[in-house]
Structure 1
């Protein structure tokens, strides 16, 4: 191993401080979620990342440093099967992880590269959320504990007037059957690499998914950064949705109006800029 490839060495004081800072950061998100779960309460915005994605709260809280770091005076059992004890400390078995999970790592990397290389589009105005309630009865609504901002009839009219321009399969698959023919595209899992684009809220929210799926080849801090972005995106997603969540402290972004659409697109551009940085960091963490 050359000096350039030698691992960074963290003494116990430094790596334990990093671990403690990570745990304190994510506890701000986890504590209210776990309290609601114990009470049997549902929150349509704040709980989404814990229910839609497969990464459990305990996994998000668990710290790992990523590759190229040696932790002095550490026990490999604290960090899991991918860590090995060396002469002075514990390091990630990067080659072992890549050998075992090479196919999935390559798939995620190719998706991130394809998304990064495509032009961003900002003309969807959040209609994917409206397409998920199109022509549904009150009982059929996913979040039927909360009212719609407009009447059911007017909600359907907005979808028909604006049309739907969703490129993200994992949003499209939740569209109601009558809404699907209204979409400009018909994304599938097989065409995901061809359709994913860096302006899409859900593609950028999914950076959290790709970060934890690439773990432990990416650090817990990077996973938390992606989670933080996904939380902010989810907030806009639901503020621009047809649901009235003002009572929860989420004033609407009225995408059925010109001013609302301008507000949405501006926020979407800001999220795309933040996501581009995270996407680059993820690609740098798993070089081809």
Structure 2
């Protein structure tokens, strides 16, 4: 057990809070003015963690904090000096097993880089029949958007993207991922699998260090920009230049960016796998004691 003095852990906590403040300040300003943003709000509307939760610093299991009254009573903490308790880690055993299986399976696959972000297009296929998903205009119009979907091979491997496909687009997907078979489909080239590293990280709070959660948040923020630049929407008024995946040049640009995010995500996924293994080891040790 590592023990941090008050000055030691407060310096880390303040640095983390300052980092998060820089990341979330634009969102908070828009929220105060009740202004929605179709790109950046996603990380706070689709994902359940609030900015204040992201801002709160946790050292992770195995680190105790001296003079830390503001951590006393927080979920998972106990003792003096206060620390995340082994009992809390054991109570999260189902989550730890689930994430370890999913993350390990994803990490064990080669990145697939040929989807071209068509999941977003499939979500608005034949919107005239199924209803609009967003208020933003379609860059190619409805007929042009439908033509792109129908003239491409769609191979979306991520259930949480696939489940938003319109009824007419679902049969066009070469894969049919479900909610209970994610480890069989998810692969590290998928933008949504990369963004979800943030979700997996904050679900492990407070058992892992908040710096890792923030690293995953930054990756998700950057991926989201590409996700929407390659989407069928016209977001020029917001300053987003489209990645025109319907063209050869656009496809090449998308694949290059996708490969870069897969490379950025790999060490973060490896760190999350290692944390799951460390925490599972804590549970095993407690059960054998």
- 1:181 aligned to 2:171? yes
- 1:166 aligned to 2:182? no
Q: Which residue of 1 aligns with 2:245?
A: 255
Cα deviation for residue 34 of structure 1 reads 2.0
Q: Which residue of 2 aligns with 1:232?
A: 222
Q: Say if 1:32 and 1:284 are closer, same or farther in 2 by CA, change over 3 A.
A: same
The correspondence for 1:125, drawn from 109, 113, 116, is 116
- 1:64 aligned to 2:58? yes
Q: Say if 1:111 and 1:128 are closer, same or farther in 2 by CA, change over 3 A.
A: same
Q: Which residue of 2 aligns with 1:141?
A: 132
Structure 2: distance between partners of 1:81 and 1:44: 33
The correspondence for 1:98, drawn from 89, 93, 96, is 89
- 1:46 aligned to 2:46? no
Cα deviation for residue 174 of structure 1 reads 0.4
Cα deviation for residue 113 of structure 1 reads 0.7
Cα deviation for residue 25 of structure 1 reads 0.9
Q: Which residue of 2 aligns with 1:4?
A: none
Cα deviation for residue 70 of structure 1 reads 2.0
Q: Secondary structure at the match of 1:176?
A: coil
Cα deviation for residue 52 of structure 1 reads 0.2
Q: Which residue of 2 aligns with 1:113?
A: 104
TM-score by length of 2: 0.92
Looking at both structures, which has the greater relative contact order when contacts are Cα pairs under 8 Å and sequence separation is at least 6?
Answer: 2
Are the counterparts in 2 of residues 149 and 243 from structure 1 also a CA contact under 8 Å? yes
- 1:275 aligned to 2:269? no
TM-score by length of 1: 0.93
Q: Which residue of 2 aligns with 1:11?
A: 5
Structure 2: distance between partners of 1:165 and 1:208: 23
Q: Which residue of 1 aligns with 2:28?
A: 34
Cα deviation for residue 155 of structure 1 reads 0.8
**Residue correspondences, number:** 278
Are the counterparts in 2 of residues 76 and 84 from structure 1 also a CA contact under 8 Å? no
Is there any run of 5+ residues in structure 1 with no aligned partner, and where? 1-6
Q: Secondary structure at the match of 2:83?
A: strand
Cα deviation for residue 138 of structure 1 reads 9.9
Is there any run of 5+ residues in structure 2 with no aligned partner, and where? 281-289
Cα deviation for residue 139 of structure 1 reads 9.4
